[in-house]
Structures are given as C-alpha cells and as structure tokens.
C-alpha cells in the first residue's frame, strides 16, 4: 500500500524559479531516491526528519548524475578529474531544492522522494575551468587571445523542387506462327494462324534537387556579448573581430555576413584572409559559426512565446603557419522562452551562444590547448 504526502512546510517553500535570461546558470533537473527503513523509523505513517533528509540527499545526487549524463565527452573528461571534490561540496552546485512528492511503500518498507533542483552552472563552470587551465590567472597570463565571428541569421526564402520521376518500360513480344494443311478430294488448302505474347516490366527512378535556402542577417550583439562573457569566464582574452580587421586587415565582417546569407561556409579566399589577419594580430584561436533563428510557436507548458535557435561553429588554432581545426560544435538546437517573441528570440540566441562557447572551450581544455 502506498501512502502519498505532498511535502509541506519549509521544504515546500523552496520553489524553483528559473529566469529564461539566466538559464545557462541555473538548469532545472529532477531526481528521485528510494530509501529502505526499519519499523521504528515511522510514527503515524510519516518519515522521520532524519530519514527524509537522507532521502533528499540521495535525490540530489540522482539529479546531479542526471545532469552530468548530458555532458559531451570533452566536458565529462574534465569533470572526472574533480568529481570527488564536487560530490563532497554538492550543495554549491545543486541549489533551490523543491520536493515534489514523497510516499511510503509500507509493504516493501521503502520511503521514496522526488525533487526538482537547479544546477548552478556558473559555479560549476568556474571550477571546471580552473581545473582545466590550472587557474584562471595562469590562463590569462599565458596570453592566449581568442577572436570569433558568429553570424546571426534567419531564413529569408526557401525554394523547394518537386521530385522528377523517370519511368522505364520494357516490353517483350513472342510470335507463335502455325500452319495447318488439309486435303479434300483433289483440293488442298493451307491455313496459317499466329498469336502474340507480351510481357511488360516497369521501373524507374526519382531525383530530387536540394532545397535552395537564402538568409538575411541580423544584429549579433546578443550573441557576441554572451560568447565573450562565457569565453572570458574560461580564462581567454577575447578580442573583437572588428578590432582585428581595423589593426591587422582581413576580411570585413560585412563580407563574411554576405557570404553566409547563401552558404554555410566562407569562401576559401575570405577564410584565408581572416585567418592571416588573426595570426598577424598574434591571435591564438579564431572561431567562426552561424546562429540561425528558427521556428516560432507557443510553449505548451507556460503559454509563453517560444523560439528555436540552431548554432554551429568551429575553432582554428592559427598560431602556426597552417591553421588547425581544433574544436567544433553543432548544429545543436536550443529554445528561448519569453512573454513576447522578441524576448524569447533574444533568450534563445543568448542560450545558444553561451552553450556553444562553453562546448568549444571544454574541447580546448580537454585537448590541453589552454
């Protein structure tokens, strides 16, 4: 028999509130724990405070394990080096606990609790970065400069093509001719008959031409601010790409933006010009990517506006004569939510930029390039 109780009092007061604009710093996760108990633990079918706290602690670890299960291989590799320390200080990273429900399985003597919690990603990222770089001060002193240009786009037109079908029919014919002779008295006659058998085989193929998509670009100020903030948190010295162009030449941002309106890649000459300029300015890492604004609809849970954003990008190590592609991300989709479409879109852009920058930095840390 189950006896369910919605937890009350001070525990229930830890309601979780996650602002869309700070979603990268507080990711919502859930956890569950099942704790066996002895007969003396309960009175009036209610768990003791000690058992309840024990179950909540285990549920927090469950929520944390669910969070770390989403890590990329590079991020997981960095986390494993500090896992014992993080678990020993889990309250620094798993915050805003809200107990959703608890119940007792009297037959099996199990007390179960389900929680919702927020992950303090800002604190965890800072600790992870310190482990990967030795210390933020050391990384800053190493003089590693990072510049990037991520183009924000939204679809302008989509031209699709109907499938073209080619049908092939092969017909085989067999002719059967027979002669019949008949004699009667002094007269003879010959009768000839023919029959035709036809077999038809049909087949063919279909060919579809790829869709032609063109984009229009939008301001990348939200993306630039979010990526700069995240990369700076990882210990990089971020230099704006327009400053690289102003001091060392290279492809103008407007030229790069124009090329990305009809393609997902820069031309070879444009990329070469940008990389050479970054190298001339003694930049270590140069990143390029796109952030595409996608579908807009209503979030069924909150009723707010919802905008999907897709991000992709890559990082080159340009410190040597031949640039090396040392990190990449995407395409990955993220969702921004807000009371208005513009707010939802900006939240989505910021979230996508923060997550992409973090993923790229994690890969650089994992490869020991910091």
pLDDT of residue 185: 56
For the whole prediction, is pTM greater than 0.75?
A: no
CA quadruple 327, 330, 335, 336: dihedral sign? positive
55: tokens are 């179950």
* Same domain? 227 vs 351: yes
Tell the residue number behind the tokens 């030449």, with chain if given.
Answer: 249
* Same domain? 243 vs 320: yes
Domain count, the chain: 3
Tell me whether residue 32 is exposed, middle or buried, using C-beta atoms within 10 angstroms of its C-beta: 0 to 12, 13 to 18, 19 or more: middle
Gyration radius of the chain over CA positions: 33
CATH number at residue 275: 3.40.50
Residue 103 lies in a domain: yes
Residue 358 lies in a domain: yes
3-state secondary structure of 46: strand
CATH number at residue 106: 3.10.129
Which residues are bridge partners to 245 per DSSP? none
Polymer length of the chain? 370
The Cα–Cα gap between 172 and 201 comes to 9
* Same domain? 146 vs 281: yes
* Same domain? 120 vs 153: no
* Same domain? 201 vs 328: no
Residue 225 lies in a domain: yes
Give yes or no for a cis peptide into 331 (omega within 30° of 0): yes
Domain boundary among 148, 179, 207: 207
The Cα–Cα gap between 230 and 125 comes to 9
* Same domain? 236 vs 348: yes
Residue 129 lies in a domain: no
The predicted-structure confidence for 149-181, as pLDDT tens digits, reads as follows 999 999 875 454 555 666 666 666 555 555 555
The predicted-structure confidence for 265-274, as pLDDT tens digits, reads as follows 999 999 999 9
* Same domain? 15 vs 79: yes
* Same domain? 322 vs 191: no
The Cα–Cα gap between 23 and 216 comes to 27
pLDDT of residue 367: 81
- DSSP code at position 242: H
Question: Is the pLDDT assigned to residue 142 strictly greater than 60?
Answer: no
pLDDT of residue 200: 63
Q: What is the dihedral of CA 319, 322, 323, 324, to 10 degrees?
A: -110
Spatial CA neighbour of 113 closest among 163, 58, 175, 74:
58
* Same domain? 198 vs 231: no
* Same domain? 254 vs 240: yes
Residue 16 lies in a domain: yes
Residue 61 lies in a domain: yes
Domain residues for the domain of 88 are 2-124
Q: Where are the alpha helices (DSSP H) in the chain?
A: 9-12, 49-68, 73-80, 83-88, 121-133, 136-141, 221-233, 241-248, 253-259, 268-280, 341-366
The predicted-structure confidence for 192-231, as pLDDT tens digits, reads as follows 555 556 666 666 666 555 466 778 999 999 999 999 988 9
- Give, for 28, the enclosing helix (H) or strand (E): strand 26-36
The predicted-structure confidence for 273-303, as pLDDT tens digits, reads as follows 999 999 999 999 999 999 999 989 999 988 9
Domain boundary among 124, 148, 183: 124
* Same domain? 243 vs 186: no
217: tokens are 């670009």
pLDDT of residue 284: 94
* Same domain? 31 vs 52: yes
148: Cβ–Cβ under 8 A, 6 or more apart, which residues? 227, 231, 238, 241, 286, 287, 288, 289, 313
């Amino acid at each position: 028999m189950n006896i369910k109780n919605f937890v009350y009092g001070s525990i229930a007061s830890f309601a979780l509130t996650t602002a869309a604009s700070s979603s990268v710093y507080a990711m919502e996760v859930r956890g569950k724990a099942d704790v066996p108990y002895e007969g003396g633990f309960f009175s009036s079918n209610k768990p003791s405070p000690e058992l309840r706290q024990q179950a909540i602690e285990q549920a927090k670890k469950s929520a944390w394990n669910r969070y770390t299960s989403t890590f990329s291989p590079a991020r997981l590799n960095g986390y494993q080096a500090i896992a014992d320390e993080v678990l020993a200080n889990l309250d620094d990273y798993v915050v805003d606990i809200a107990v959703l429900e608890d119940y007792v399985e009297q037959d099996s003597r199990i007390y179960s609790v389900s929680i919702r919690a927020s992950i303090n990603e800002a604190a965890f990222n800072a600790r992870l970065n310190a482990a990967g770089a030795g210390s933020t001060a050391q990384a800053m002193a190493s003089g590693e400069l990072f510049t990037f240009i991520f183009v924000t786009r939204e679809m302008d037109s989509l031209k699709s093509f109907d499938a073209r079908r080619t049908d092939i029919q092969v017909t085989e014919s067999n002719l059967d001719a027979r002669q019949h002779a008949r004699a009667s008295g002094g007269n003879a006659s010959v009768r000839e008959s023919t029959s035709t058998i036809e077999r038809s085989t049909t087949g063919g193929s279909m060919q579809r031409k790829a869709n032609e998509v063109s984009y229009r670009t939008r301001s990348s100020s939200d993306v630039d601010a979010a990526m700069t903030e995240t990369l700076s948190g990882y210990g990089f010295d971020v230099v704006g790409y327009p400053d690289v162009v102003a001091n060392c030449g290279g492809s103008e941002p407007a030229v790069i933006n124009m090329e990305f309106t009809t393609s997902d890649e820069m031309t070879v000459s444009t990329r070469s010009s940008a990389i050479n300029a970054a190298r001339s300015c003694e930049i270590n890492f140069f990143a390029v990517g796109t952030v595409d604004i996608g579908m807009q609809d209503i979030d069924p849970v909150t009723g707010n506006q919802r905008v999907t954003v897709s991000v992709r990008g890559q990082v080159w190590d340009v410190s040597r004569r031949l640039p090396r592609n040392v990190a990449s991300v995407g395409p990955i989709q993220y969702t921004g939510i807000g009371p208005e479409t513009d707010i939802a879109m900006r939240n989505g852009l910021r979230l996508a930029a923060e997550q992409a920058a973090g993923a790229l930095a994690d890969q650089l840390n994992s490869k020991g390039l910091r």
